[in-house]
Structure 1
Amino acid sequence: MGDGRHETRTTAAVDPVIRARGVLPALRSDAAASDRRNRLTVSVLAALGSAGLLGLRGSEGRDGRQLDCNTIGAVVATLAEEHASAAWVVGSFARAAVQVAADPVLARAASEHGEGLLIADAHGAPARAVAVKGGFRLTGLWHSVPGSAHADLALVSFVLPGGDPEHPVRAVLPMSQLTRHETWDAAGARGASPETLEAEGVFVRADAVGAAGLRRGYDPAHAIVPASTVVGAASGALDHALASVRNRPWPGTRYETAAESATIQGKLTDAAMHISSARLHLHRAATSADRYAVDAAAMPPEVRIRSRVDIGCATSAAVSALDSVMSAIGAQAVAETAPFERAWRDVQTLSRHAAVDPLTAREAFGHFLVGRGGALHEIPL
């Protein structure tokens, strides 16, 4: 590939989170360019590819264990400290790779197209399928698919003729058989190029259809990626703020630098505590998702709802953290050349992703608590 994304791969024996931290300098220098171009630059793709972070495989977790939601979330949050768009793409590719690896039918179908290919996760409303000789023909749209401009394959969902819409099946399709529409015009996460994918009568063999294990409803494992991106971007902004205030003059006060101000210290402390809270909520949601990774449909409703509100709380806390950072930095934070401004746009955009929306999560959890008489202690950890 001419974009450099399939260059030398780092051994999986190295913790992927350590690898992610190692590429942050390269991401920092190219984040603005990716934002302007509405896709990841060749340099960013090369850095991620050299570190083995594009298309993380199912066995590339910490210490060689299975790649789990906590590890994916940690990698995504680390990358998002400097480049939220790259983080969202890497996390989405990793989620797709894990799902494909866990299903023998999908794994075989993907391998027929080659090894080491990048798979976009077209998570969303399923397409329609019409039965034909030897398989099915799919017609439908999958919106806001991160990294679709750089993917080789797409993991898509569809409903079989006469099948249950709540339990769509999945298939792996070559990107060459899909039409890409550049529909993303949001202010943030521009570099992720989350395009709309369209299938018009695309044929899928009957023996290449994956199991109907993924519910159309809320999937905590899917939500971990955008939520971790938001938390990581807020954390990165706090790090930049801490470095900035140490030597920043504070005119009009008795302080020589902003770091000496109790007001500034308090705002940055608030931000740090919000981020700590966000990470704890994310960890619990990811742990619950990992526990039911083999069969997501087996997750008890109360655990699914609690995971949703955990992710919503994490997102809300990250937004509050970034608000405190922006307030501490002042008007300089919204300068187009400042890292805070891009982080603010990315967080404001991704925090409105339906999967991480705090208000929807609150409503679902409140309905559960009232219906169960407030039996919070009955929800298993």
Structure 2
Amino acid sequence: MNTQPAPSAPPDLSTLLAAARDLAPVFRERAAETEALRRLPDQNVADLKAAGLFRVIQPERCDGWQMDFHAHLDVVEEVAAGCGSTGWCLGVLQIHSWLVGLLGEQAQEDIYRDDPDALIAAVLNPRGTARQTDNGYTLQGFWPFGSGSEHSSWLVLGAQVLDADDEVVDEGCFAVPASDIEIRDDWHVVGLRGTGSCSMVAKGVAVPTYRYISFVEGRRGLTPGADLHDGTLFRAPLSPALAIALCGPAVGIAEGAIRDFAAYVQERRNPQLRGASQIDSPITHQVVAEAKGRVDAARVLLHRAADDIHQAAEQGGDMPQEVRARIRMDSAYAVRLCMEAGEEVFLACGGSGLSEKNPIQRAWRDLHAINQHALLQLSTNAEIYGRTLLGLEPGTDIL
């Protein structure tokens, strides 16, 4: 059990990747417990904190490592290969620490001053409503899918800002203490079971103005915190960064499923083919090769997107609409490739693949769950990208 405090000096990426690889089999052993709890075990969270893995893209001024999105993708992949739910929570909680870096200085101090390991859950879809007051806003609403919310001390929630006539004048997100929000224990699902993605409810919560980011301004790179940091990480365009941050877990889960399948077929024989060895079957070779090819292609797509995001950050967050649309498409296509890879190895397991003791079925369920995310719907993203390629209006503001 890792009980050491998180490193006080920024570690290098190789150290973080080594820690992630060491923890992956530990999380794998706890995967059944994680699913039974329907949230991460407290020890998983403690282990991730002790290794400093939540801080990969957290602002340096808030005691984070402030690395890049390549590091984010690589670390999350390693953890997700051991446990999909743990990898998913690590990925979204990392990107939410980056999101906090877009808030103003006082908001960052509120969140990290007393606890540099503070975790932030978020649902950015503007499902709630907010009204301006003399001191800020009053927030109310219902937000499902709050992954990691039960372990988080802060929440970031999306809402429409209404005027006195109930007209929408802006959309954005609000940072609030978790203690101000009701978290409902309602996460009963078949995939990503252990993520604790509970619903959250706000009833007239007061939020100061400085804990608000406008999506309208944020998509143009105009955020309160963009100029508080050294480097350009926090000038990255908002929507593309949020999109790829959902994808690292899929690569890791699929990679883990391929490794599990390789171990599974070592002694397997097919009674339908006179007891032929499954590992010697050309069909098995094709399944493994095609599955691995899909995962490798997904990884390349995501790291290309990370390159594009960093290039845009160097230019103050400016990114052509076509590239924004392509990153949404690449994100959806990457997780679909991973799901197809998981499907291939799951089907190749035959009936025994249905056993709850077989980790490949858990990977299969988790990969399908990731592909259900609204931002990763392949048909929707294909329409957006296709319209853009044809010179049409993209049909969405979430670029």
TM-score when normalising by structure 1: 0.86
Does residue 272 of structure 2 align to residue 269 of structure 1? Answer: no
* 1:118 aligned partner, one-letter code: L
Which residue identity does 1:189 align to in structure 2?
Answer: L
- What CA distance in whole angstroms lies between the structure 1 residues aligned with 2:95 and 2:291? 29
Distance (whole Å) between structure 2 residues aligned to residue 136 and residue 65 of structure 1: 32
Q: For 1:124, what is the secondary structure of its paired residue? A: strand
> 2 CA distance for matches of 1:307 and 1:327?
30
- Name the counterpart of 2:218: 214
Describe the shift of the 1:320–1:172 C-alpha distance in structure 2 as closer, same or farther (beyond 3 A): same
Residue 236 of structure 1, aligned match among 238, 256, 281: 256
Structure-1 separation of matches of 2:344 and 2:141: 42
Choose 186-195 or 205-214, whichever is displaced more.
205-214
Structure 1, 317-326 or 129-138: larger mean CA deviation: 129-138
How big is the shift at 1:39?
0.8
Shift of 1:166: 8.8
1:158 aligns with 2:178: no
In the alignment, what sits opposite 2:69? 69
**How far, CA to CA, are the matches of 2:170 and 2:305 in structure 1?**
22
Q: Kindly state the Cα deviation for residue 292 of structure 1 after the two structures are TM-superposed.
A: 3.5
Q: For 1:227 and 1:38, how far apart are their aligned partners in 2?
A: 21
Structure 1 residues 215 and 141: CA distance shift in structure 2, 3 A = farther
Per the alignment, residue 176 of structure 1 pairs with 179
Q: Deviations over 1:182-207 (max 9, x none)?
A: 33322111111111111111111234
Cα distance in structure 1, aligned partners of 2:130 and 2:4: 37
Per the alignment, residue 139 of structure 2 pairs with 138
Q: Are the equivalent residues in 2 in contact too, given 1:267–1:327 (CA < 8 A)?
A: no
**How far apart are residue 310 of structure 1 and its match?**
0.7
- Cα–Cα, structure 1 residues 246 and 312, in superposed 2: closer, same or farther, change >3 Å? same
Deviation at 1:36?
Answer: 1.0
Count of aligned pairs:
366
Q: In structure 1, what is the Cα distance between the partners aligned to 2:32 and 2:25?
A: 13
The yes-or-no answer on 1:43 pairing with 2:40 is no
Gap change, CA 1:65 and 1:137, over 3 Å in 2: closer
Aligned to 1:365: 385
Query: In the TM superposition, what is the alpha-carbon distance from 1:178 to its structure 2 partner?
Result: 0.3
Measure, in 2, the Cα distance between the counterparts of 1:32 and 1:179: 27
1:8 aligns with 2:12: no
Residues 1:142 and 1:286: Cα distance change in structure 2 (over 3 Å):
farther
1:340-378: CA deviation from partner (whole Å, max 9, x where unpaired) = 111111111111111111111111122222237xxxxxx
Deviations along 1:283-329, one digit per CA (max 9) or x if unpaired, are 12222233335899733210111111111211121111112111222
- 8 Å CA contact 2:56–2:71 kept in 1: the answer is no
1:378 is aligned to none
Q: Is the contact between residue 184 and residue 200 of structure 2 (CA under 8 Å) also seen in structure 1?
A: yes
Cα contact 1:95–1:121 (8 A) shared by 2: no
**1:143–1:195: 8 Å Cα contact kept in structure 2?**
yes
Q: Distance in 2 between matches of 1:127 and 1:100?
A: 19
Name the aligned partner's letter for residue 315 of structure 1. Answer: V
Aligned to 1:129, the other structure's residue is in SS state strand
Give 3-state SS (helix, strand or coil) of 1:292's partner.
Answer: helix
CA contact (8 A) 2:294 2:338 kept: yes
Name the CA shift for 1:18/1:332 in 2 (closer, same or farther; >3 Å): same
Q: 1:168 to 1:18 in 2, by over 3 A?
A: farther
Name which of 348, 352, 377 aligns with 1:332. 352
Note closer, same or farther for the CA distance 1:257–1:140 as it changes in structure 2 (3 Å cut): same
Q: Say which SS state the counterpart of residue 89 (structure 2) adopts.
A: helix
In the alignment, is the contact (CA less than 8 A) between 2:161 and 2:169 conserved in 1? no
2-side partners of 1:294 and 1:191: how far apart? Answer: 37
Unaligned runs of 5+ in 2: 221-236, 393-399
Name the residue aligned to 2:122: 121
Q: Distance in 2 between matches of 1:71 and 1:191?
A: 24
Q: Per the alignment, in what secondary structure is the counterpart of residue 337 of structure 2?
A: helix
SS of residue matched to 1:332: helix
String of CA shifts for 1:110-131, please: whole Å, max 9, x gaps: 2456443111122212532222
Matches of residues 22-41 of structure 1 in structure 2 within 5 Å?
22-41=22-41
2:207 matched residue in structure 1: 204
Task: Report the secondary structure of 2:139's partner residue.
Answer: strand
Q: What is residue 290 of structure 1 aligned with on the other side?
A: 310
The root-mean-square deviation of aligned C-alpha atoms, in Å, is: 2.9
The worse-fitting range, judged by mean Cα deviation, of 212-221 and 51-60 is 212-221
> Taking structure 2 as the reference length, what is the TM-score of the superposition?
0.83
> d(CA) in 1 for partners of 2:39 and 2:2?
13
Rate the CA distance shift 1:319–1:268 in 2: closer, same or farther, 3 A: same
What are the Cα deviations for residues 92-142 of structure 1, in whole angstroms up to 9, with x where unaligned?
Answer: 111111121243333133245644311112221253222223222111222
Distance 2:384 2:316 in 1: 19
Contact 2:162 2:170 in 1 (8 A): no
Deviates more, 1:237-246 or 1:6-15: 6-15
- The one-letter code of the counterpart of 1:192 is T
Say if 1:189 and 1:346, in contact at 8 Å, map to a contact too: yes
Q: In structure 1, what is the Cα distance between the partners aligned to 2:127 and 2:169?
A: 10
Sequence identity (%): 27
**In 1, Cα distance between equivalents of 2:323 and 2:88:** 25
> 2:376 matched to 1:356?
yes
Structure 1 window deviating more from structure 2 (192-201 vs 322-331): it is: 322-331
